[in-house]
């Protein structure tokens, strides 16, 4: 019975257009609940699900974001596959702290790029920073997605199963040409993996990135996504409007883009304190 329900869950996710990565994660998370619960799934209640989520946070020490990923998977499974009305309203999501992401300065980006051992890993980082791609989008680029005649990169089936185009700058195009000439990737993918993997894995890139970071003195938490954050922040600092940045980043909501305004040091430096508007020469305000 459980196997049939999980198969139906997979079909439900496919029907709703969830990405392959999301489907894999949701199925994995539901399987973990199955192991924890140990009973007939149709008998589970909201109390059982929330007890499990509390277990993940208190005993497994999972962070709020990770717990919410489990909650999202279980909410979809019980509300859609099992048609449980309570799942739509009573599965508890943890309140997550709203933290601003780390952003690299231009000089820090150069430092990191210089210390990659492999031209493939370096070029992937260049694509994430130079075009604002998510790491999964960069890794799944196909050779045909690089349109040098129109100076665009075609990002296919990004987050939310959406296609978009981003500008291909002359410097990034040159770097891609150098990489292609050196590596001659076989097959349709620009960054093929080894062995059974069609594309390079995120784990392999993260390992290469951490190796590069160990060689530089940067006191920030740097992941592949930080290159994307830096791209958006530097665009806004250069005066690009929020709506344009939203389109380039592939954000569904302008609110997701607006958070980068808080990270732009250039704009902060141009904002005057109200104290400067009081109309008296410096040093005489209190005199």
* pLDDT tops 90 at residue 84: yes
- Sorted by where each starts, the structural domains of the chain and their CATH numbers stand as 2-90 (1.10.150.130), 106-269 (1.10.443.10)
Residue written as token pair 């960054």 = 191
| b/e sequence 5-15, b meaning 16+ C-beta within 10 Å | bbeebbebbee
Distance, in Å, from the CA atom of 113 to the CA atom of 281, rounded to the nearest integer, reads: 47
Q: How confident is the model at residue 22 (pLDDT cuts 50, 70, 90)?
A: confident
* pLDDT tops 50 at residue 20: yes
pLDDT in tens, 26-49: 999 999 999 999 999 999 999 999
Of the candidate ranges 9-13, 97-101, 184-188, the one whose mean pLDDT is the lowest: 97-101
* pLDDT tops 90 at residue 55: yes
Active site residues: 134, 159, 225, 228, 251, 260
Q: How confident is the model at residue 287 (pLDDT cuts 50, 70, 90)?
A: very low
Question: What is the average pLDDT across 155-169?
Answer: 82
Sign of CA dihedral 131, 134, 135, 140: negative
Q: Which two tokens stand for residue 67?
A: 């717990």
Please state the pTM of the whole predicted model: 0.68
Sign of CA dihedral 226, 227, 232, 234: positive
* pLDDT tops 80 at residue 257: no
pLDDT in tens, 199-250: 899 999 999 999 999 999 998 889 999 999 999 888 888 888 888 888 888 8
Consecutive H or E run containing 114: helix 106-114
């Amino acid at each position: 019975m459980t196997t049939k329900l999980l198969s139906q869950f997979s079909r439900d996710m496919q029907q709703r257009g969830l990405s392959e990565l999301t489907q894999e994660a949701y199925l994995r998370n539901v399987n973990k609940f199955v192991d924890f619960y140990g009973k007939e799934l149709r008998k589970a209640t909201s109390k059982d699900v929330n007890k499990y989520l509390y277990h993940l946070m208190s005993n497994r020490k999972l962070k709020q974001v990770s717990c919410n990923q489990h909650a999202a998977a279980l909410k979809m499974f019980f509300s859609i596959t099992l048609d449980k009305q309570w799942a739509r309203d009573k599965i508890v999501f943890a309140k997550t702290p709203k933290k601003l992401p780390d952003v690299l300065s231009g000089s820090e980006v150069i430092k990191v790029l210089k210390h990659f051992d492999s031209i493939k890993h370096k070029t992937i980082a260049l694509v994430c920073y130079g075009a604002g791609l998510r790491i999964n989008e960069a890794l799944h680029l196909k050779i045909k997605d690089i349109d040098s005649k129109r100076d665009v990169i075609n990002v296919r089936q990004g987050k939310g199963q959406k296609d978009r185009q981003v500008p291909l700058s002359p410097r990034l195009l040159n770097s891609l040409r150098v990489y292609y000439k050196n590596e001659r990737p076989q097959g349709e993918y620009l960054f093929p993996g080894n062995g059974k993997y069609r594309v390079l894995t995120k784990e392999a890139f993260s390992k290469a990135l951490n190796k590069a970071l160990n060689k530089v003195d940067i006191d920030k938490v740097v992941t592949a996504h930080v290159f994307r954050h830096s791209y958006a922040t530097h665009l806004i600092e250069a005066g690009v409007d929020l709506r344009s940045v939203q389109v380039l980043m592939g954000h569904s909501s302008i609110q997701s883009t607006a958070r980068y305004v808080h990270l732009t040091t250039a704009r902060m430096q141009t904002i005057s304190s109200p104290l400067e508007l009081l109309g008296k020469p410096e040093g005489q305000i209190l005199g």
